Structure 1
Amino acid sequence: MSHTAHIPSHRKPRQRATKSALRAGVAGGVLSTIAVASAAGPAQAEPVTQTIEMPTITSGLSTTVAASAQATQQVALHLEAQAHELETQADEDAAAKSAAKKAKKAKDEAVREAEAKKKAEAAAKAEAEAKARAAERASRTSERTTLSAPSSSSGSSSGNSASASAPSSAPSSSSNATGSAASIVAFAKAQVGDAYVAGGTGPNAWDCSGLVQAAYRSVGIDLPRVSQAQSTAGTQVSLDALQPGDILYWGGAGSAYHVAIYVGGGEFVGAQNSSTGTVQRSMDYDRPTGAVRVL
């Protein structure tokens, strides 16, 4: 037996001749029918007279459009209200800024006016004080000139008259000062009435050590600038043996807090404080601690 005898054949069976003839006849008949219809001419189509009615949708659409328009109008009104509110707020802010600017300007102007007034008052006061000091100095200068006038110019009677015209407040022992001591005393007395200013060294304002230093410098003697050093600048002397021109000090020697110049007659001249200025006072007014002699 052959090895391939059991495998069935896959070839299609041949169609029978009768089936083929039948199919050919059917096809021919169809074609003949089509040909006859074509020869008879096109058939007259019946016109369409039926109207097709489209569904109506405008009722729902109009409602939707109306709702949308109303919503749009509400949004527009809301936006308009917000815009108006923002505009109002902007106007209020601008008004507030303008008011603040005007208030600041008015305040600055008031401050400037107050400062100008204060300066004018201070200048007027300083001018009045300067005039008063100038008048007082002129008076003291006149008195010193009268006291120093030679008695021989008008005889003894004139001398007695000049002595009688001397102020009773002048210390009797001041006439004992001579030379440099007399110049120092005269310089110190000439500054009575000047203002006291911390750190002042003249010519119209002094502190205590500044006045003492300037008085000694007028006769060519340089002293230290501060009270502590001036209290040890010379020889320590007893308060019972003072001479005009000696330096009085308050506090310990080397640690003094105040100094003045002894002018004789139990009195001193010193730049005391901002309230009194430069004064001539009795030692009983403020008893010093000690004294030094430089001359």
Structure 2
Amino acid sequence: MPRPLPPLNALRAFEAAARLGSVSRAAGELHVTHGAVSRHIRTLEEALGAPLFEREGRGLALTAAGLRLRDAAGDAFDVLRGAWSGLRRDGQASALVLGCPGSVLARWAIPRLERLSAELPDLKLHLSAQESGFDAALTGLDAALLLGQAPWPAEWRVHALGPERIGPVLSPRHARYPTLSNAPAAALLDEPLLHTTSRPQAWPRWLASQGLDATRLRPGTGFDHLTYLLEAAAAGLGVAIAPQELVQADLDSGRLVAPWGFTETGGSWALCTSRGQDDARIAALASWLRRELAG
């Protein structure tokens, strides 16, 4: 039986690409890969049985069907944003709605909630896991806590909290742990490396920072989410790469080790809000987050 509505994630990706005139810019706004946006658009085109875009020189142009869907989707998302904002103001007026990637929520934010409540007792938070990235309007959110890198969406006010550091980690249960734990970083070029499909550039950038030829890396098993990646590493299934703060508890317990240390990526931890927002709670939260990341 045909679906009465197109898949929401696919429609969201199409609307961003149509509005911005670029699959790459849409991927940047949604914080997903270029390939993910392209797959969503293909899903819509296959369900519709007609193309939504056509090549025009080096760019893309909307077809007649694409123009109709762009206008309808844009109007629908505008209505949804307005309704959601109104409902949130009515139902959660006292709570600051903070979105963050699921891995940040599970591995960093939740373990610190008790301390946050004790040190900022007047701040009531509603935490929302965002697995598909953040749109430029931060729809449904008062703020977003994330790891990212400039350029940021022009609609955002960005409070930098501290530098992002990433590095390889593995478990003492790994079959080659005795050898790898004492080997130079170049030894990783001979290992199938665990990775996340949402951040394919992590390994190449880290290897390049070590002066190694990133074209020689051997991708191993890929995972959609960092949480699954790190569980695989902890089970001894391979070497993973991750932000230091998200694995610090595992390093402290000895569940994972980081023989090659961590390297700054040029990105940062950031607390992001819409530019038009004026909320005194944001400054207090940003200061607290900076202290936590520095400590």
TM-score (norm 2): 0.22
- Structure in which a larger fraction of residues adopt helix: 1
TM-score (norm 1): 0.22
- Structure in which a larger fraction of residues adopt strand: 2
Structure with the greater relative contact order (CA < 8 A, sep ≥ 6): 1 or 2?
A: 2
Between Structure 1 and Structure 2, whose CA radius of gyration is higher?
1
